[in-house]
Amino acid sequence: MKHIAIAGAGPAGAATALLLAQQGMQVTLLEQETAFDRVFRGEGLMPAGLDALYQMGLKETFAQIPSRQLDAWDFYVGGRRRMRVVEPDRRGLATQIIDQGALLIAMVEQAKTLSNFEFYPGWRVSELLRGDRGEVIGLRAARQGQSQDFLVDAVIACDGRYSRLRQLAGLQIDKSSAQFDVLWFKLPAPPSLAEETPFVACLQPQRQFAFYPSWDGRLQIGWIVEKKSKQALAKLKNRDWIEEFAQALPPDLAAHFRQHKDELEGPIYLDVQVGCCPQWSIPGLLLIGDAAHPMAPNRAQGINMALRDAIVVANHLAGVAESDGPIRTETLQAIQAERQPEIEAVQKMQLAEWRKVALISQPGLPYLTFKAIATAFGRFRFAQAIWLHEQKGLREGVLPVKLHLTKALSSLG
Ligand SMILES: Cc1cc2nc3c(=O)[nH]c(=O)nc-3n(C[C@H](O)[C@H](O)[C@H](O)COP(=O)(O)OP(=O)(O)OC[C@H]3O[C@@H](n4cnc5c(N)ncnc54)[C@H](O)[C@@H]3O)c2cc1C
């Protein structure tokens, strides 16, 4: 059986580790953090991501994880709701707001039940080990001054958008021009959102933000800003954020925001990176997830794409798990060939959506025209159906991704 080392236990790394260990491969998962709940992580899981989890046999596990199913997509323009699109629940697959940390813990705990899986929390991968021909034969990781080498048949780099392994492998990334950054805030949720879970997008001239009641019962608010320098960002901290939000909200919500002014947490700054590596692999090493293709945050594609990458990796590596000799470069290249078209298509859709938002939030004619259209047509079913139809690729994925493993996943429920 092949031995695979995976760097990074985010959604890409944890899911890949679980699937490969399930196939009987020797899996070593290294994660630089010691806890999963230290930093705020993405919380949105679109239907394609939920489908990926279900295919992995994690339906029952998912039911135990703190989450809220989205009820609707609301669009507020000029301080009033102009359109509500009810979240469809096709085949039991609706958008979810999840505790990502809890999901990662659950996946790693499942993998830990297998004797061929090892987890190294708190270990940072610092170097790649190379063979005579420059091929990757393992990695070096360190924890608290202690260093260890891991010799393996292949390394899978799942170390996120600033991937150290990508740099060590000498792989380039084609970065898309920076579109925007996001400032995340938390606030107690209003009582009206205790039972209901809408994703609310608010638009006013040069003011764009979104909020939703999160899995922890609090309101998660994301404010969109143009890419800024660190100094410019530091100044934003002093802004009267509650007033900024309140001015784009209907009176009842604005009153709630003002009433809880002192309880506002944040901002946490999300430096949005978008791009895709022209080449995801070198002999002995493969990049997946954000390491290969950092995603923009709109319509929560990061977790989705990472989980779908994991399925394709598992399909390809399961086929060579027991073969003699090293994992062939062609196998790694086939994974990229299967995943890249969807990644590119999704990134294109995200960019198109962002351009639309940037246009209609321009003061003057663009904003006023959009407001008039939203006011006139937003309440009609056909307008809601058009919006939903446009979202199909971002909701359901662009290409079919099906898990074809040789060993059953029955033990995972
Ligand atoms: C604030 C924020 C909000 C977001 N909101 C959303 C959202 O709502 N929905 C969504 O889908 N996406 C969202 N995203 C993006 C989403 O979290 C990522 O796209 C997704 O997690 C990518 O998964 P990944 O496994 O490829 O990488 P990551 O989740 O980034 O995981 C990488 C892991 O590698 C570890 N690591 C890094 N370097 C090393 C090293 N040298 N050695 C060992 N371990 C290492 C990191 O600690 C991390 O655990 C958000 C991201 C951020 C930062």
Show the ligand 1 pocket: residues with CB < 6 angstroms: 7-13, 30-33, 40-44, 124-125, 158-160, 164, 184, 268, 270, 289-291, 295, 297, 300-304, 306
Burial of 123 (0-12, 13-18, 19+ CB in 10 A): buried
> How high is the pLDDT of residue 196?
96
Same domain, 166 and 154: yes
Does 365 map to a domain? Answer: no
Instruction: Give the mean pLDDT of 183-200.
Output: 95
Among the candidates 240, 256, 271, a domain finishes at 271
Q: Does one domain contain both 237 and 285? A: no
Is 73 within a domain?
A: no
Residue 138 lies inside a defined structural domain of this protein? yes
**Is the model's pLDDT at 188 over the cut of 70?**
yes
Q: Is 198 found in the same domain as 305?
A: no
CA distances from 359 to 56, 74, 181, 403 (A): 40, 19, 17, 40
Dist. CA 348–CA 364, nearest whole Å? 27
| 214-to-15, 63, 185, 221, 259 alpha-carbon distances in Å | 23, 16, 11, 9, 19
Report how far apart, in Å, the C-alpha atoms of 394 and of each of 113, 211, 297, 397 are. Answer: 34, 19, 12, 6
Domain-located, residue 203: yes
CA 401 from centroid of its chain's CA atoms: 17
> Which range of residues forms the domain containing residue 216?
181-271
Range with the lowest mean pLDDT among 30-34, 39-43, 76-80, 344-348?
39-43
Clarify whether residues 264 and 316 are in a common domain. no
pLDDT for 406 equals 60
Give the pLDDT of residue 4.
97
* pLDDT value of position 38: 64
Structural domain ending residue among the three candidates 226, 255, 271: 271
The answer as to whether 81 is a domain residue is: no
pLDDT at residue 219, rounded to an integer: 97
Angle subtended by helix axes 365-377 and 329-360, to nearest 10: 90
Q: Residues 166, 199: one domain?
A: no
Do 156 and 201 fall into the same domain? no
Run of H or E residues at 386:
helix 381-390
Categorize the per-residue pLDDT at 299 as very low, low, confident or very high, splitting at 50, 70 and 90. very high
* Mean of the per-residue pLDDT values of the chain: 94
What pLDDT score was predicted for residue 410? 45
pLDDT over threshold 60, residue 245: yes
Q: Which is the closest atom of ligand 1 to the Cα of 14?
A: 25
Both 189 and 253 in one domain: the answer is yes
Is residue 120 domain-shared with residue 202, that is, in the same domain? Answer: no
Judged against a pLDDT cut of 90, whether residue 39 lies above it is answered with no
Domain-embedded: residue 387: no
Burial class from Cβ neighbours inside 10 Å (0-12, 13-18, 19+) for residue 244 reads middle
Give the pLDDT confidence of 147-176 residue by residue, as tens digits: 999 999 999 999 999 999 999 999 999 998
Q: How far, in Å, is the centroid of ligand 1 from the Cα of 10? A: 5
Is 43 inside a domain boundary?
A: yes
For the purposes of burial, counting CB atoms within 10 Å of the CB of 410, is it exposed (0-12), middle (13-18) or buried (19 or more)? exposed
Give 295's DSSP letter.
Answer: P
Residues 289 and 338 in one domain: yes
Same domain, 20 and 117: yes
Q: Note whether 51 and 143 are same-domain residues.
A: yes
Q: Write the CATH number for 9.
A: 3.50.50.60
Two tokens, residue 319: 């086929």
CA of 204 to the centre of ligand 1 (A): 30
Reported as type and span, the H/E element at residue 243 is: helix 241-246
Closest ligand 1 atom, CA of 36?
Answer: 49
Note whether 295 and 275 are within 8 A (CB): no
> Atom 13 (ligand 1): residue with closest C-alpha?
42
Dihedral of the CA atoms 391, 228, 37, 94 (nearest 10)?
-10
- Of 237, 271, 305, which closes a domain? 271
- Report CA(290)–ligand 1 centroid distance (Å): 7
Q: Quick: pLDDT tens for 401-413.
A: 999 976 655 444 3
Give the pLDDT mean for 11-25: 97
- pTM (two decimals): 0.96
Calpha distance 251→232 (Å, rounded): 31
- pLDDT, residue 323, reads 83
Do 323 and 268 meet the contact criterion of CB atoms below 8 Å apart? no
Q: What is the pLDDT of residue 179?
A: 72
Q: Is a pLDDT exceeding 80 seen at residue 178? A: no
Structure tokens at 328: 């062939």
Q: Which of 186, 199, 214, 303 to mutate to test the pocket of ligand 1 (most atoms within 8 A of CB)?
A: 303
Site to probe by mutation for ligand 1, drawn from 32, 104, 185, 286 as the one with most ligand atoms within 8 Å of Cβ, is: 32
- The domain total for the chain is 2
Which of the residue ranges 136-140, 148-152, 323-327 would you say has the lowest mean pLDDT?
Answer: 323-327
Which residue is it, tokens 């060579």?
320
Residue nearest atom 16 of ligand 1, based on CA coordinates: 302
Residue 305: inside a domain: yes
- Exposed/middle/buried for residue 260 (C-beta within 10 Å: 0-12, 13-18, 19+): middle
To test ligand 1's pocket by mutation, which of 290, 301, 350 has the most ligand atoms within 8 angstroms of CB? 290
DSSP-derived letter for residue 70 is -
Tokens in use for 83?
Answer: 């359109």
* 3-state secondary structure (DSSP) of residue 132: coil
Q: Say if residue 209 is in the same domain as residue 124.
A: no
